[in-house]
Amino acid sequence: MKMIANFINGGAVASTGLRTGDVFNPSLGHVQARVELANGSLLDQAVANALAAQPAWASVNPQRRARVMFRFKEAIEANMNELAEMIALEHGKVIADAKGDIQRGLEVVEFMCGLPHLLKGEHTEGAGPGIDVYSLRQPLGVVAGITPFNFPAMIPLWMLAPAIACGNAFILKPSERNPSAPVRLAELALEAGLPKGILNVVHGDKEIVDAILDHPDIKAVSFVGSSDIAQYVYGRGAANGKRMQCMGGAKNHAIVMPDADLDQAVADIVGAAYGSAGERCMALPVVSPVGEATAVALRQKLVAAIGDLRVGVPTDPDAHYGPVVSAQHKARVEAYIQLAVDEGSELVVDGRGLTLQGHEEGYFLGPTLLDHVRPDMQSYRDEIFGPVLQILRASSFKEAISYPSSHAYGNGVAIFTRNGDAARQFASAVQVGMVGINVPIPVPVAYHSFGGWKRSGFGDLNQYGTDGVRFYTQVKTVTQRWPQGGSVIDQSFVIPTMS
């Protein structure tokens, strides 16, 4: 059986005595490979190589580092099909969705090709008599990223591209559920000219996560995952003096106003709610129609649209989405559907019990629609992370805004309306980090930054964009004066003032 090794100092590390984890094929429900789970000793080896390689990489001028990013971008594009097939095989995404996963990460690599401009500091001439002040952005050293199963290419690229471009060495701990694409990305970076030791991939579970958070030579950690784990990672890393950036879960809402284009809204909401089997932190699992008439019309159109969805294997070109990632996750989502029913929700469309011929052991779930959901229900408060859409009716615009604003999560939200004033009020008032106006999944483009509020984000800086550069660099400010005519200017410094 295929064994997926750790990738350290430019190559696979053959190890003995390590624990291993099973890598499943979600469409078939069986083990297709095993992954070696690193321990603290192997992490030490990765960090030692990173420490040795990082100073020389940091001394490479930004333009030349940007050229490596250009070649890395080209390598990813040339191997898009191979990477997409790896993701589909281990995650269960349909091929088109897997390519979208890669593309959104690729855009961050592309943005980092403009690194020389992004690293420019500030300068003040004549801050005092003969005195100039300027600032530098310098890399932190060795940094790390811990990424989830749902985007095996995009989120690693969100982290490693700015970290490496800024002159750091990077330790990537991807999800052990689908480790192949991250390792392949590291190989492609090496082919693009990245020096050995600058990008290392260590696989593992909580043991290696804790080792990363405790390692004294890792200066910063970026994390994406569930909120409870994000809070734990943030707290433990910060307690060890690390710079931390932790993105958690979500319960994103779509507000549908009475004047919305319902056909367009339904098409967008169905794609956002059920695409990738709902396993996205920017999915739309809750829709809040404003007014009874809007709710009735919306529900009718949703049921019709759901009936046209096709669940299939990743290689099916007509499938809208594939299986969920594991048997345990399938059981979890099914349990939430039953909980919602037990709490009083109306089960309009039940996605449980779906099987595909020839793939009876696969982790497939049909689209589920629940109506008459209430804010006090646990099934509403929790992140389900599956192909489940809940209708939470609102009697007014004010009530609709209150639902996402008062929720524990604050990742993304969308409003569907033709009214510019309502959209403007909504964008200003709603207490959520990323807002879409007639846009169902408002993930910012690569030259902005991604980040939620409340339990969706821990830390002061967001992912990628200029925030990514700030996170992976530290500012050094220099105040200087020079002798004139062989002697220092006739000025003296007295704390706290200068005379």
Q: Are 404 and 390 in contact (CB under 8 A)?
A: no
**What is the residue-wise DSSP string for 187-243?**
HHHHHTTPPTTSEEE---SHHHHHHHHH-TTEEEEEEES-HHHHHHHHHHHHHTT-E
Whether omega for the bond prior to residue 285 falls within 30 degrees of 0, making it cis, is no
Q: Which residues pair with 201 in a beta bridge?
A: 7, 172
CA distances from 328 to 324, 336, 363 (A): 10, 13, 9
Chain mean position to CA 266: 25
CA distances from 259 to 319, 419, 471, 488 (A): 32, 7, 42, 72
For residue 41, count other CB atoms closer than 10 A to its CB.
Answer: 11
Q: Are 134 and 72 in contact (CB under 8 A)?
A: no
The end-to-end CA distance of the chain, in Å, is 75
For residue 296, give the H/E element and its range: helix 292-307
| Residue type (1 letter), 299 | R
Q: Are 177 and 325 in contact (CB under 8 A)?
A: yes
For residue 473, give the H/E element and its range: strand 473-481
For residue 496, count other CB atoms closer than 10 A to its CB.
Answer: 4
CA–CA dist 7, 14 (Å, integer):
9
Annotated catalytic residues are 281
Residue 313 carries which DSSP code?
-
Those residues with Cβ within 8 angstroms of residue 239's Cβ, 6 or more apart along the chain or in another chain: none
Q: Are 202 and 171 in contact (CB under 8 A)?
A: yes
Q: 84-89: which pairs have CB atoms within 8 A and are 24 or more residues apart?
A: 86/152, 86/178, 86/180, 86/181, 86/184, 87/152, 87/153, 87/178, 87/181, 88/314, 88/315, 88/322, 89/25, 89/32, 89/180, 89/314
Residue 475 carries which DSSP code?
E
Residue 79 dihedral angles phi and psi, to the nearest 5°: -110, 25
Sign for the CA dihedral angle at 176, 178, 179, 182 comes to negative
CA distances from 105 to 72, 101, 440, 497 (A): 12, 7, 19, 49
